[in-house]
Amino acid sequence: MAQFSTRELLYLEDMSKMFESIEKNIRHARTEVTDQQILSMLNTMSQEHRQIIQSAGSLISSGRMQ
């Protein structure tokens, strides 16, 4: 199992919060958009960001502080 320093864990937590904020903005944009191409792009972005959030969360919860 990988060991993460406190600094690395804090960085991952910050990144996770940033991606959650991006996801919130994407959700809002999807409610405002009528163009199907843009809506499709937003949906793709949302899926990608969710995967990154899950990966970061998994690293944070499985990492051990040094």
Return the beta strands (E) in the chain as ranges.
3-4, 64-65
Residue 64 has pLDDT above 70, yes or no: no
| pLDDT range class, residue 11, cuts 50, 70, 90 | confident
Residue 66 has pLDDT above 50, yes or no: no
Residue 4 has pLDDT above 80, yes or no: no
Position 63 scores a pLDDT of: 61
Q: Is 66 helix (H, G, I), strand (E, B) or coil?
A: coil
Which is it for strands 64-65 and 3-4: parallel, antiparallel or unpaired?
parallel
Q: 21 vs 56, which has greater pLDDT?
A: 21
Q: pTM for the full model?
A: 0.64
Position 65 scores a pLDDT of: 44
